[in-house]
């Protein structure tokens, strides 16, 4: 770690921090601020470093909470920051390191203080702390009443207007993080916040006109994945020639402990995980997800969600709808590339889900891409490694597939994309397979995993719905994919027989004893029969619509024909079994006529010839299998805790004491 533990332990005794949190008011024009803000460090980029910092400074923060109503020093600090941000754009253009450096340090202190304030008080109490001034104890001023709004607006302006350079990277990151902290009041409430002071400021007034620019900037931060500048490019360091003018000014102003204070940056080696990611891209995406999932205000819908729902491609020249003032344009090709590359993270998968589900422009663009494998393969990898992923990430990946399979052109095109050597698929060496067959294999594997482990009906339903949507367009199924379809049916059949036997034995036992209640085998049997029915409909849909394209499925069907015998006369399956029974009988007859001891190649040849000869009118037509994803009522009950669990667990997020968290339990992330 880049921080010296003994230095951190001395923070509570630091004279500048003690003065800030002390009983004496400090005017915003006091030279003290230059001294306080002249420390050099790299912003901590992991929660472990931030935990150490918070533990060392908690006594200072508590003291400020207690003294601020009489001193108004929090308001003074914020005013100092606001005054220094007015020239930030010019400072960036002129490479004015000193100005940006002190503005960043002011914001870092504000962010640290805010986090403690928000975790310990209501929004109403927080609002009062922003109104306290250097007056009589407990008195309120009028000119500071909108200091929260002024700070929020300033942070948004900083994010959207300051160019992203090496010297501005840290302050841009800090501005995004401070907005997350402002919104973190949700973490300390069990119920979803539907009326929030901070939400109101962000959705109305001075912040509202920046909605589309903020969403666009956060998206571009995610797209660009700009890495943190090398250590030393945005802090003051002694140069080999004895130091430049700026370093001289800094070292002259800074004294005591603050002279060189490093955390997770200068002089320390970053972890491989942090070397591979962009803290700004990560935090920007988290902030975007938080904003998009704010609940609608009573009088207005969430403008950030509206912006995400309506933005268009830069190549789209159609006019914007007048009904949505928050629409904007962004480069869809760059966005698509970033989404493909970042799917290992929950938050990138959640963003992809939101865009496909809510933005028809993005969905149309994605479905028209000719390189869909770049997007689908990372999603399949998430499902394949289901044991290593949290359940929410798996759900999001699965729903993305369900949304994609609602489109017939997608279902056709995935069978035309041929992949070679899928190294992460370990069950079998796949030297060559279509994207469609691989998708089927992974979804079936997910179903089988769910049957033996989690037994989640919701997961089952969505997996089967995706297969059902694809079934009419199954083309040239890989022999292994065809085998796995029938193997899954075999597994379901065995499970059905086992539950049926348990129900029978339980019923017999109940006749001789009335002491114990009966297990609800009827419900279990009903669920398994629903799944079997769905599998039969999927097989039937393929046979009815594309029999001649799938000789491998017919082969697998014939090889395991005995599996289907017990369902021919079952009242729940009789109708759907007619076509399957007809296909089995027709091809069995042709194979018998061809003689015994047939090779696999010869059997497939006979199947291909038979597929042409089989009159299609003999197969009964059933309604087309089509399932559409519908978001549940009150989706915020799922998405808001999920998003905040991502913020809480993020490697580069802020540190919060787990004992303070109310929104979710620590294992729910």
The residue-averaged pLDDT of 657-667 equals: 73
What's the sign of the alpha-carbon dihedral 55, 60, 62, 65?
A: negative
Here the tokens at position 76 are 């003074």
pLDDT above 90 covers a percentage of the chain that reads: 55
* DSSP class per residue in 319-355: PPPTT-TT--EE-HHHHHHHHHHTTTSHHHHHHHHHH
Here the tokens at position 225 are 């994945």
275 near 14, Cβ under 8 Å? no
Q: Quickly count: other Cβ atoms within 10 Å of residue 163's Cβ.
A: 10
pLDDT tens string 310-353: 999 999 888 887 777 888 999 999 999 999 999 999 999 999 99
In the DSSP assignment, the letter for residue 407 is -
267 near 2, Cβ under 8 Å? yes
**How far is it, in rounded angstroms, from Cα 602 to Cα 597?**
10
126-140, 434-448, 572-586, 639-653: lowest mean pLDDT where?
126-140
Q: Is the pLDDT of residue 5 over 70?
A: no
Q: Any bridge partners for residue 419, and if so which?
A: 433
Alpha helices (H) along 210-345: 211-224, 245-253, 272-275, 279-292, 303-310, 332-341
The residue written with tokens 């008195």 in the block is 139
Question: What is the radius of gyration, based on Cα positions, of the chain?
Answer: 31
**How far is it, in rounded angstroms, from Cα 180 to Cα 186?**
10
The residue written with tokens 């079952």 in the block is 570
Q: Is the pLDDT of residue 234 over 90?
A: no
Return the pLDDT at 41: 62
Q: Which residue has the higher pLDDT, 520 or 148?
A: 148
Return the pLDDT at 155: 97
Under DSSP, is residue 432 helix (H, G, I), strand (E, B) or coil? strand
37 near 105, Cβ under 8 Å? yes
The residue-averaged pLDDT of 229-233 equals: 70
58: left (phi over 0), alpha (psi -120 to 50) or beta: alpha
Instruction: Give the chain's length.
Output: 669
**How far is it, in rounded angstroms, from Cα 129 to Cα 138?**
10
Here the tokens at position 286 are 């988290």
The residue-averaged pLDDT of 40-52 equals: 71
Q: Quick one: which of 535, 621, 614, 537 has its CA closest to 576? A: 537
Pairing state between β 329-330 and 312-313: parallel
pLDDT tens string 58-78: 888 899 999 999 999 999 999
Return the pLDDT at 141: 44
21-35, 214-228, 495-509, 620-634: lowest mean pLDDT where?
495-509
């Amino acid at each position: 770690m880049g921080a010296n533990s003994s230095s951190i332990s001395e923070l509570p005794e630091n004279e500048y921090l003690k003065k800030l949190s002390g009983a004496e008011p400090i005017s915003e024009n006091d030279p003290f601020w230059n001294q306080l803000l002249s420390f050099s460090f790299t912003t901590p980029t992991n929660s472990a470093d931030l935990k150490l910092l918070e533990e060392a400074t908690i006594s200072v923060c508590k003291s400020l909470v207690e003294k601020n109503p009489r001193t108004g020093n929090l308001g003074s600090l914020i005013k100092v920051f606001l005054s220094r941000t007015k020239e930030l754009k010019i400072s960036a253009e002129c490479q004015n390191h000193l100005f940006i450096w002190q503005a960043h340090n002011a914001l870092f202190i504000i962010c640290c203080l805010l986090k403690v304030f928000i975790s310990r008080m209501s929004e109403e109490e927080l609002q009062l702390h922003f109104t306290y001034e250097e007056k009589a104890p407990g008195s309120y001023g009028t000119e500071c009443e909108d200091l929260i709004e002024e700070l929020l607006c300033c942070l948004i302006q900083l994010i959207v207007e300051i160019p992203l350079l090496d010297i501005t990277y840290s302050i841009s990151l800090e501005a995004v993080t401070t907005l997350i902290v402002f919104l973190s009041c949700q973490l300390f409430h069990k119920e979803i916040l539907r009326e929030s002071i901070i939400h109101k400021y962000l959705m109305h007034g001075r912040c509202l006109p920046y909605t589309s620019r903020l969403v666009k900037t956060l998206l571009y931060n995610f797209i660009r994945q700009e890495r943190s500048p090398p250590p030393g490019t945005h802090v003051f360091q002694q140069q080999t020639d004895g130091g430049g003018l700026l370093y001289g000014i800094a070292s002259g102003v800074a004294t005591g402990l603050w002279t060189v204070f490093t955390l997770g940056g200068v002089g320390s080696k970053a972890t491989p995980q942090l070397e591979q990611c962009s803290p700004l891209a990560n935090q920007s995406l988290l902030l975007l997800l938080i904003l998009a999932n704010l609940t609608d205000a009573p009088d207005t819908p969430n403008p950030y969600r509206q912006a995400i729902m309506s933005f268009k491609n830069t190549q789209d020249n159609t006019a914007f709808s007048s009904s949505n003032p928050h629409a904007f344009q962004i480069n869809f090709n760059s966005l698509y590339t970033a989404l493909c590359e970042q799917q290992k993270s929950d938050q990138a998968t959640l963003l992809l889900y939101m865009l496909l589900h809510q933005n028809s422009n993005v969905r149309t663009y994605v479905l028209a891409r000719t390189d869909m494998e770049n997007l689908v393969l990372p999603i399949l990898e998430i499902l394949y490694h289901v044991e290593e992923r949290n359940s929410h990430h798996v759900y999001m990946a699965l729903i993305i597939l369900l949304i994609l399979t609602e489109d017939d052109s997608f279902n056709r095109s995935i069978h035309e994309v041929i992949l070679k050597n899928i190294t992460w698929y370990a069950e079998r060496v796949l030297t060559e397979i279509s994207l469609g067959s691989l998708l089927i294999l992974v979804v079936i594997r997910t179903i089988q995993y769910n049957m033996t482990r989690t037994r989640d009906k919701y997961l089952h339903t969505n997996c089967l719905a995706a297969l059902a949507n694809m079934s009419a367009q199954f083309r040239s199924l890989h022999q292994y994919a065809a085998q796995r379809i029938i193997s899954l049916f075999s597994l379901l059949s065995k499970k059905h027989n086992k539950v049926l036997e348990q129900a029978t034995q339980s019923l017999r036992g109940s006749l001789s004893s009335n002491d114990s209640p009966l297990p609800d085998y009827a419900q279990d049997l009903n669920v398994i029969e629903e799944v079997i029915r769905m599998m039969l409909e999927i097989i039937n849909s393929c046979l009815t619509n594309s029999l001649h394209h799938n000789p491998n499925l017919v082969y697998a069907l014939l090889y395991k024909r005995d599996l289907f015998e017990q369902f021919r006369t079952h009242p729940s399956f009789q109708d759907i079994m007619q076509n399957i029974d007809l296909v089995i009988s027709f091809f069995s007859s042709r194979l018998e006529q061809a003689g015994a001891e047939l090779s696999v190649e010869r059997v497939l040849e006979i199947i291909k010839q038979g597929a042409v000869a089989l009159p299609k009118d003999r197969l009964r037509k059933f309604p087309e299998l089509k399932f559409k994803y519908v978001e549940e009522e009150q989706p915020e009950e799922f998405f808001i805790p999920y998003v905040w669990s991502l913020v809480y667990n993020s490697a580069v997020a802020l540190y919060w004491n787990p004992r303070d968290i109310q929104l979710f339990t620590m294992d729910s992330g």
